[in-house]
């Protein structure tokens, strides 16, 4: 494959124009001791046709979830993507453009981002949303940092039921910076949600503190919670919000944006910052990335927000025009005093989410969310009927739920894979699977199943039938 | 101007923004509708009771048909300038052509359809691709430990500094300061602050390199690291790299290389061989993956053997039995994001590297450097050249002469270039050059395009003397003209609200 349009002859002419005789001379500033005295040890270049063969060969060693009947979720979901989404993404004016620093020739990206910001505000109920973050996990970590700046406090209280990888990311960011992740409140095993208030059993209090007791020990900057949580369950957000604000902390809520088509947004519960991963909104799973972190907050915290923002203004002729704004928060202007170091974000993925939301509309989004919830409830009933699964809790959930399998979960998954099913995710396998308060034994048999609108009743019936016959 | 506008009928659509997607379509318009529900409907109010409520107010999302979406975004696209539109000599951003095979490959069902928690035996091809990409980046950088997790360059910087911090803490010493040259990208000092370090600015010497005397003075056992961009943001190779890194190591500090400018040195010199301990690579610059209007990119980090145990996990590995798996480095700093990284971007970069091969990559760097020097030569008489040295893949001019002569600023020159059909260079950066114009043509511009760009720059230099007012009012041909940024910041309008 060759990507250089300059010919050999032209190259010679260019060298001559510089008074040089060999390309080598261009690198005179690189001291001999710094040179590599051999060719790079990399495979020889391939023609495009050979390359396609090689890459296809690699895909042959994969069995993509989209070609199986998949019930895997845990932060990455197999939703249907309308055809129009990728057709928009393939427009070179979008995907080959840089960050819209020159507004005169970037109105496409800028307007699309302004529309995306509006849609995220609408979904979350918040006042302002930025242009995007890397993913949900880093959005959560940056929300925590922002809460520290706003409150002048350093302790972070994270629900034990937040996705383990997101919790790990939060910890990595906190450890590197000046924040501190405090002792985790326990998971209430009876509900699969965070233990919010103190429990009767005093003997468990030490190892299994409630949110209330953690908050009484800490001057917390933020309480971070996922709605729904890792197990698909809904937390008691009203109560959590009340305790959080009483303690003078900010409430950071991570949400699945698709469910906001039908559920009351976190703003209604008093959330201060709302984050999440936009992957369910028209973005392929792609082995977990690129996805889309989104970030929304209240107006009064706008200037502490990380990331880019697009604003609407006018040009010198008085015509409507969009432009990057409030850049004095950002690294290229404020350097070490910036609200974050983020520069490149996930712009093209935010475009995908915008097109997706336009394609489905509010009724469509609501219908998809309702379909997912109804199907998940259907599958749960069918699986419980088989007698092979037990319900660890009866907490309201969205389109993902956890069940206890009465055998070896890993073996069950392998057997079902042979039958063409991806039988969910083993909760204990994700990031070492630690959920304060949930014992290893229970965790080992806990299967997490997600049901999107792509799954049919026939597939679910067959799945239940096959898994019962194991 | 008036003449032309007289030719345009009053009903003609605006070339700039027309309507928002929210203002398009009708309330009953739909694009895609979900299929009929094939399971019993739920009474959500009952099911969610006590924990979640049903929305009482629907979110205001667009109501449009597919054709309206298609036209809306076609119009938006028409207001954008991409690499496919024309030359994009944006310094430090390496706006090279993005081979289409990468776009196709990232969409293969066998890649795009993978769930991150599939059983390991069903993702062997994906892990193999990641392993081979990591090996290739290790070979190109001379730094054998590689994480592909970071989502962008700044994320890679953060990851590397986190590893440095953990490395120092593991040896029982807490170091608080990080040295950053005054020519560095803004992300460097911002990253330093996010890592809880203090950023100390190092001045550049008259030659555009690190001032060695200042470095010597700044170095002590409280210094955790230096962050160098090499080639630096002036487009110059740091001639004292070896000496700098030796001095840094002599006080027990580590040396970090910002790999934004790797496009200049592939197959010529390797950061690992010149004493750097870590390097981040922007796959969306050097390795041909598109910028996407600001992302997604990917910022893998390459480190020495000594730092390898600190990398974020999991790391894809080639196991003894020939299969591929995932491993957690022994003293890992932990994750820096969810899942494995921007995998779709990794696929594109891998395709690029395999397509070009080792020799092809060296040719890329040679041509990128030749093209930059060629352009510099063509423009050096018309514009001030503050650092007159052989440049690497980019060079920095100054518009001070034009500012003096016609009161024309670099911003005006950049805006006028738009009328000539070019995306402007990076301007006002690096900060150490007054009225800076940072030009990076990349290897994928033809000689004809380079000459056309040079001609435009020379014509603009002429216009400075003949018609400075023209430049100050430019651009004239773009979908919108200069935008009022002050008003945008003073009264932020960051979202649409339906009236009434």
What is the biggest distance separating any 2 CA atoms in chain A, rounded to whole angstroms? 86
Q: What percent of chain B shows pLDDT beyond 90?
A: 92
pLDDT in tens, A393-433: 999 999 999 999 999 999 999 999 999 999 999 998 998 77
Mutation site for A-interface testing, chosen from B5, B14, B48, B59 by largest number of A Cβ within 10 Å: B59
B476 — contact with chain A (CB < 8 Å)?
no
pLDDT of the residue at B3: 52
Of residues A112, A137, A417, nearest to B337 (C-beta): A137
Q: Which of helix, strand or coil describes residue B272? A: helix
Find where tokens 């997607």 sit: B21
Is A128 close to B343, i.e. CB distance below 8 A? no
**Mean pLDDT calculated for residue range B304-310:** 98
On the question of pLDDT at B92 being above 70, the answer is yes
Distances from the Cα of B395 to the Cα of A56, A79, A238, B376, B379, angstroms: 40, 47, 57, 7, 11
> Per the structure block, which two tokens stand in for B121?
């035996």
pLDDT of the residue at A160: 96
B136 — contact with chain A (CB < 8 Å)?
yes
CATH of domain A65-81+362-468: 3.90.1150.10
B269 — contact with chain A (CB < 8 Å)?
yes
Of B232, B238, B229, B248, which is closest to residue B177 (Cα–Cα)? B248
Chain A residues whose beta carbon lies within 8 Å of the beta carbon of residue B30: 361, 363-364
Find where tokens 């050059």 sit: B433
pLDDT of the residue at B4: 58
Residue B50 pLDDT level (bands cut at 50, 70, 90):
confident
A105 — contact with chain B (CB < 8 Å)?
yes
pLDDT in tens, A178-199: 799 998 999 999 999 999 997 6
Domains of chain B: 1-79 (no CATH), 101-356 (3.40.640.10), 362-486 (3.90.1150.10)
pLDDT of the residue at B2: 44
- B466 to chain A, minimum CA–CA distance in Å? 23
pLDDT of the residue at A301: 97
B360 — contact with chain A (CB < 8 Å)?
yes
The secondary structure of chain B in percent helix, strand, coil, rounded to multiples of 5, reads: 40, 10, 50
Chain B residues whose beta carbon lies within 8 Å of the beta carbon of residue A93: 77-78, 80-82, 84-85
B488 — contact with chain A (CB < 8 Å)?
yes
pTM of the model: 0.98
Q: Would you say B196 and B148 are in contact if contact means Cβ atoms under 8 Å apart? A: no
Chain B residues whose beta carbon lies within 8 Å of the beta carbon of residue A70: 115
A106 — contact with chain B (CB < 8 Å)?
yes
Distance CA(B118)–CA(B371), nearest Å, equals 46
pLDDT of the residue at B1: 44
Nearest residue on chain A to B414, judged by CA atoms? A102
Chain B residues whose beta carbon lies within 8 Å of the beta carbon of residue A123: 59
Is A134 close to B337, i.e. CB distance below 8 A? yes
Of A208, A232, A255, which is closest to residue A395 (Cα–Cα)? A232
**Cis bond upstream, residue B105 (ω within 30):** no
CATH architecture of the domain with residue range A85-355: 3-Layer(aba) Sandwich (3.40)
Of residues A26, A163, A178, nearest to B373 (C-beta): A26
The CATH 3.40.640.10 portion of chain A extends over 85-355
On the question of pLDDT at B497 being above 50, the answer is yes
Is A261 close to B151, i.e. CB distance below 8 A? no
Nearest residue on chain A to B350, judged by CA atoms? A55
Q: Would you say B258 and B287 are in contact if contact means Cβ atoms under 8 Å apart? A: no
Size of interface A-B (CB pairs under 8 A): 716
Of residues B80, B115, B284, nearest to A108 (C-beta): B80
How many C-beta atoms lie closer than 10 Å to residue A10's C-beta?
Answer: 16
Chain A residues whose beta carbon lies within 8 Å of the beta carbon of residue B377: 17-18
**Mean pLDDT calculated for residue range B187-207:** 93
- H/E run at residue B217: helix B212-218
Question: How would you write the pLDDT of chain A (470 residues) with one tens digit per residue?
Answer: 999 999 999 999 999 999 999 999 999 999 999 999 999 999 999 999 999 999 999 999 999 999 999 999 999 999 999 999 999 999 999 999 999 999 999 999 999 999 999 999 999 999 999 999 999 999 999 999 999 999 999 999 999 999 999 999 999 999 988 799 998 999 999 999 999 997 656 666 677 899 999 999 889 999 999 999 999 999 999 999 999 999 999 999 999 999 999 999 999 999 999 999 999 999 999 999 999 999 999 999 999 999 999 999 999 999 999 999 999 888 888 888 888 999 999 999 999 999 999 999 999 999 999 999 999 999 999 999 999 999 999 999 999 999 999 999 999 999 999 999 999 999 989 987 788 888 888 999 999 999 999 999 999 999 999 999 99
> Per the structure block, which two tokens stand in for B485?
């940024």
Find where tokens 């196709």 sit: B104
Write down the ipTM of this complex: 0.98
Mutation site for A-interface testing, chosen from B267, B486, B495, B499 by largest number of A Cβ within 10 Å: B495
pLDDT of the residue at A413: 95
pLDDT of the residue at A178: 76
Any bridge partners for residue B54, and if so which? A263
Is A311 close to B488, i.e. CB distance below 8 A? yes
Q: C-alpha angle with apex A82: A79 to A88, nearest 5 degrees?
A: 125
Q: C-alpha angle with apex B453: B447 to B458, nearest 5 degrees?
A: 125
A322 — contact with chain B (CB < 8 Å)?
yes
B97 — contact with chain A (CB < 8 Å)?
yes
Is B354 close to A111, i.e. CB distance below 8 A? no
On the question of pLDDT at B486 being above 90, the answer is yes
Mean pLDDT of chain B: 96
Q: Give the single-character DSSP code of B291.
A: -
DSSP for B147-186? E---SSHHHHHHHHHHHHHHHHHHTT----EEEEETTS-T
pLDDT of the residue at B299: 98
Distance CA(B365)–CA(B262), nearest Å, equals 8
A51 — contact with chain B (CB < 8 Å)?
yes
Is B390 close to A26, i.e. CB distance below 8 A? yes
Distances from the Cα of B325 to the Cα of A415, A428, B108, B321, B457, angstroms: 21, 18, 22, 10, 53
Q: Which of helix, strand or coil describes residue B225? A: strand
pLDDT of the residue at B36: 95
Taking only residues 60 to 89 of chain A, the set having a beta carbon closer than 8 angstroms to any beta carbon of chain B reads 60-67, 70, 72, 74-76, 78, 82, 84, 86-88
Q: Would you say A221 and A156 are in contact if contact means Cβ atoms under 8 Å apart? A: yes
pLDDT in tens, A249-290: 999 999 999 999 999 999 999 999 999 999 999 999 999 999
B351 — contact with chain A (CB < 8 Å)?
yes
The CATH 3.90.1150.10 portion of chain A extends over 65-81+362-468
A135 — contact with chain B (CB < 8 Å)?
yes
Q: Give the single-character DSSP code of B35.
A: P
**Cis bond upstream, residue B430 (ω within 30):** yes
- B202 to chain A, minimum CA–CA distance in Å? 14
Mutation site for B-interface testing, chosen from A1, A2, A3, A401 by largest number of B Cβ within 10 Å: A3
The 3 state secondary structure assigned to chain A is CCCCCCCHHHHHHHHHHCCCCCHHHHHCCCCHHHECCCCCCCCECCCHHHHHHHHHHHHHCECCHHHCEECCCCCCCCCCCCHHHHHHHCCHHHHCCCCCCCHHHEHHHHHHHHHHHHHHHHHHCCCEECCCECCHHHHHHHHHHHHHHHHCCCEEEECCCCCHHHHHHHHHHHHHCCCEECCCCCEECCCCEECCCCCCCHHHCCCCCCHHHHHHHCCEEEEEEEECCCCCECCCHHHHHHHHHHCCCEEEEEECHHHHHCECCHHHHCCCEEEEECCCCCCCCHHHCCCCEEEEECHHHHHHCCCCCEEEEEECCCCEEEEECCHHHCHHHHHHHCCCCCCCCCHHHHHHHHHHHHHHHHHHHHHHHHHHHHHHHHHHHHHHHCCCEECCCCCCECCEEEEEECCCHHHHHHHHHHCCEECCEEHHHHHHCCCCCCCHHHHHCEEEEECCCCCCHHHHHHHHHHHHCC
Taking only residues 403 to 442 of chain B, the set having a beta carbon closer than 8 angstroms to any beta carbon of chain A reads 414-415, 418, 423-424, 429
Is B496 close to A343, i.e. CB distance below 8 A? no
Q: Which residues of B18-34 are buried (b: 16+ CB within 10 A; e: fewer)?
A: bebbbebbeeebbbbeb
Of residues A46, A98, A413, nearest to B95 (C-beta): A98
Q: Which residues of B61-94 are buried (b: 16+ CB within 10 A; e: fewer)?
A: bbbbbbebbbebbebbbebbbbbbbbbbbbbbbb
> Per the structure block, which two tokens stand in for B370?
């030749």
Q: What percent of chain A shows pLDDT beyond 90?
A: 91
């Amino acid at each position: 494959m060759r990507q250089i349009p300059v010919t050999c002859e032209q190259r010679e002419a260019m060298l001559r124009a510089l008074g040089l005789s060999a390309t080598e001379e261009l690198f005179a500033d690189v001291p001999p001791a710094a040179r590599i005295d051999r060719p790079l040890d990399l495979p020889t270049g391939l023609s495009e046709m050979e390359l396609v063969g090689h890459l296809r060969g690699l895909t042959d060693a994969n069995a993509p979830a989209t070609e199986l009947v998949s019930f895997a979720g845990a932060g990455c979901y197999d939703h249907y993507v309308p055809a129009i989404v990728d057709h928009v993404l393939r427009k070179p004016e979008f995907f080959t453009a840089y960050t819209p620093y020159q507004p005169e020739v970037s109105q496409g990206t800028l307007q699309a981002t302004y529309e995306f910001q509006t849609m995220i505000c609408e979904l979350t109920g918040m006042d302002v949303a930025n242009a995007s973050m890397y993913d949900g996990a880093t959005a959560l970590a940056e929300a925590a940092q922002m809460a520290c700046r706003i409150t002048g406090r350093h302790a972070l209280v994270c629900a034990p039921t937040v996705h383990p990888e997101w919790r790990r990311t939060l910890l990595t960011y906190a450890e590197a910076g000046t924040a501190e992740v405090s002792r985790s409140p326990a998971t209430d095993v009876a509900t699969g949600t965070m233990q919010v208030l103190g429990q009767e059993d005093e003997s468990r209090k030490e190892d299994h503190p409630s949110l209330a007791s953690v908050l009484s020990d800490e001057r917390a900057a933020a309480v971070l919670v996922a709605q729904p949580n890792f197990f698909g369950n809904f937390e008691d957000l009203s109560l959590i919000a009340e305790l959080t604000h009483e303690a003078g902390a900010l409430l950071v809520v991570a949400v699945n944006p698709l469910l906001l088509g039908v559920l009351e947004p976190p703003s209604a519960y008093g959330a201060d910052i709302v984050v999440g991963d936009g992957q369910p909104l028209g973005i392929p799973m792609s082995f977990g990335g690129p996805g889309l972190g989104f970030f929304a907050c209240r107006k009064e915290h706008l200037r502490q927000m990380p990331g880019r923002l697009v604003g609407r203004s006018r040009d010198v002729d008085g015509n409507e025009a969009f432009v990057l704004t409030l850049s004095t928060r950002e690294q290229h202007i404020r350097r070490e005093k910036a609200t974050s170091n983020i520069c490149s974000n996930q712009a093209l993925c935010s475009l995908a989410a915008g097109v997706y939301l336009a394609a489905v509309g509010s009724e469509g989004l609501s219908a998809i969310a309702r379909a997912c919830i109804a199907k998940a409830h259907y599958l749960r009933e069918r699986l419980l009927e088989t007698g092979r699964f037990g319900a660890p809790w009866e907490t309201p959930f969205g389109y993902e739920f956890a069940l206890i399998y009465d055998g070896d979960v890993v073996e069950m998954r392998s057997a079902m894979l042979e039958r063409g099913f991806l039988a969910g995710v083993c909760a204990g396998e994700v990031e070492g699977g630690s959920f304060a308060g949930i014992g290893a034994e229970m965790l080992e048999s806990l299967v997490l199943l997600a049901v999107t609108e792509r799954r049919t009743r026939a597939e679910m019936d067959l799945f239940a039938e096959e898994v019962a016959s194991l | 101007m008036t003449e032309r506008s007289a030719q345009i009928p009053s009903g003609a659509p605006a070339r700039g923004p027309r309507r928002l997607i929210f203002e398009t379509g009708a309330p009953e318009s739909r694009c895609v509708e979900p299929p009929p529900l094939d399971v019993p409907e739920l009474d959500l109010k009952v099911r969610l009771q006590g924990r979640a409520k049903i929305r009482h107010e629907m979110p205001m999302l667009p109501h449009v048909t597919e054709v309206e979406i298609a036209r809306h975004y076609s119009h938006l696209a028409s207001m954008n300038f991409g690499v496919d539109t024309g030359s994009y000599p944006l310094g430090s951003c390496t706006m090279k052509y993005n081979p289409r095979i990468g776009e196709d490959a990232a969409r293969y069902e066998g890649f795009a359809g993978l769930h991150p928690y599939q059983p390991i035996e069903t993702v062997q091809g994906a892990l193999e691709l990641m392993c081979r990409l990591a090996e290739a980046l290790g070979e190109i950088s001379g730094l054998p430990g590689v994480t592909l997790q970071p989502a962008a360059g700044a994320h890679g910087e953060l990851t590397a500094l986190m590893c440095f911090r953990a490395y120092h803490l593991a040896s029982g010493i807490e170091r608080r300061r990080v040295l950053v040259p005054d020519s560095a990208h803004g992300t460097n000092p911002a990253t330093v602050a996010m890592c809880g370090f203090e950023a100390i600015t190092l001045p550049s010497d008259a030659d555009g390199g690190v001032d060695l005397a200042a470095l010597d003075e700044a170095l002590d056992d409280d210094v955790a690291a230096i962050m160098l961009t090499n080639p630096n943001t002036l487009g110059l190779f740091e001639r004292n790299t070896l000496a700098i890194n030796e001095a840094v190591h002599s006080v027990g500090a580590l040396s970090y290389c910002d790999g934004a400018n790797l496009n200049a040195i592939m197959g010529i010199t390797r950061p690992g061989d010149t004493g750097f301990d870590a390097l981040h690579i922007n796959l969306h610059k050097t390795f041909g993956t598109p910028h996407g209007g600001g992302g997604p990119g990917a910022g893998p980090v390459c480190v020495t053997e000594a730092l390898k145990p600190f990398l974020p996990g999991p790391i894809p590995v080639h196991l003894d039995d020939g299969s591929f798996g995932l491993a957690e480095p022994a003293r890992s700093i932990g994750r820096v994001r969810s899942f494995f990284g921007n995998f779709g971007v990794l696929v594109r970069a891998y395709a690029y590297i395999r397509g070009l091969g080792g020799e092809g990559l060296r040719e890329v760097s040679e041509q990128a450097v030749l093209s930059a020097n060629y352009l510099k030569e063509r423009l050096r008489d018309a514009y001030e050249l503050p650092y007159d040295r052989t440049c690497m893949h980019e060079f920095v001019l100054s518009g001070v002469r034009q500012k003096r002569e016609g009161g024309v600023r670099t911003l005006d020159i950049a805006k006028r270039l738009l009328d000539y059909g070019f995306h402007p260079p990076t301007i006002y950066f690096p900060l150490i050059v007054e009225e800076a114009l940072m030009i990076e043509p990349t290897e994928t511009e033809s000689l004809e395009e380079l000459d056309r760009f040079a001609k435009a720059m020379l014509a603009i230099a002429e216009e400075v003397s003949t018609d400075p007012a023209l430049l100050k009012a430019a651009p004239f041909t773009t979908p919108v003209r200069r935008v009022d940024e002050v008003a945008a910041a003073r009264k932020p309008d960051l979202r649409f609200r339906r009236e009434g």
